[in-house]
Homo-oligomer: A and B are copies of this chain.
Amino acid sequence: MSSMTGKNIKISVFGQSHSAAIGVVIDGLPAGYIVDFERVNAFMARRAPGQNVLSTPRKEADLPKVLSGIAGGATCGAPLCAVIRNGNTRSGDYSNIKDCPRPSHADYAAFVKYNGANDVAGGGHFSGRLTAPLCFAGAVCMQLLEKKGIFVKSHIYSIADEKDTPFDLVNITEEDISSKDFPVIDGEAGKRMAAKILEARSHADSVGGIIECAVTGVPAGVGDPMFDGIENIIAKNIFAIPAVKGIEFGNGFDCTRLRGSENNDPYYIDGNKIATKTNNAGGITGGITTGMPIVFRAAFKPTSSIGREQDSVSLSKMENQKLIVKGRHDPCIVQRAVPVVEAVTAFTILDVLSD
Taken together, the copies of this chain in the complex come to 4
Contact of B303 with A260 in the complex, beta carbons under 8 Å: yes
A105: B residues at CB distance < 8 A: 285-286
B253-A299 in contact (CB<8A): yes
Instruction: Please determine whether A253 and B264 come into contact, CB atoms closer than 8 angstroms.
Output: no
Select from chain B the residue with minimum beta-carbon distance to A115. B32
Cβ of A41 under 8 Å from chain B: no
Contact B27 A25 (CB under 8 A): no
B222 in contact with A302 (CB, 8 Å):
no
A113 to chain B, nearest CB (A): 4
Q: Please, which residue of chain B has its CB at the minimum distance from the CB of A125?
A: B78
Q: Which A6-20 residues have a C-beta within 8 angstroms of B?
A: 7-8, 10, 12-16, 19-20
Q: At the interface, yes or no: A255 with Cβ under 8 Å from chain B?
A: yes
Q: Which of B14, B228, B248 contacts A299 (CB 8 A)?
A: B248
Max chain B CB contacts within 10 Å: which of A22, A77, A121, A269?
Answer: A77
Q: Which 4 A-B pairs have the closest CB atoms?
A: A106-B286, A246-B248, A32-B117, A112-B221
Which of B104, B228, B239, B263 touches A208 (beta carbons < 8 Å)? B263
Cross-interface CB contact of A109 among B210, B231, B288, B318, cutoff 8 Å:
B288
Q: How far, in whole Å, are A287 and B249 apart by their CA atoms in the complex?
A: 21
Report yes or no: B76 in contact with A124, Cβ–Cβ below 8 A: yes
**Contact indicator A235/B260 (Cβ below 8 Å):** no
A257 interface contact, C-beta 8 A: yes
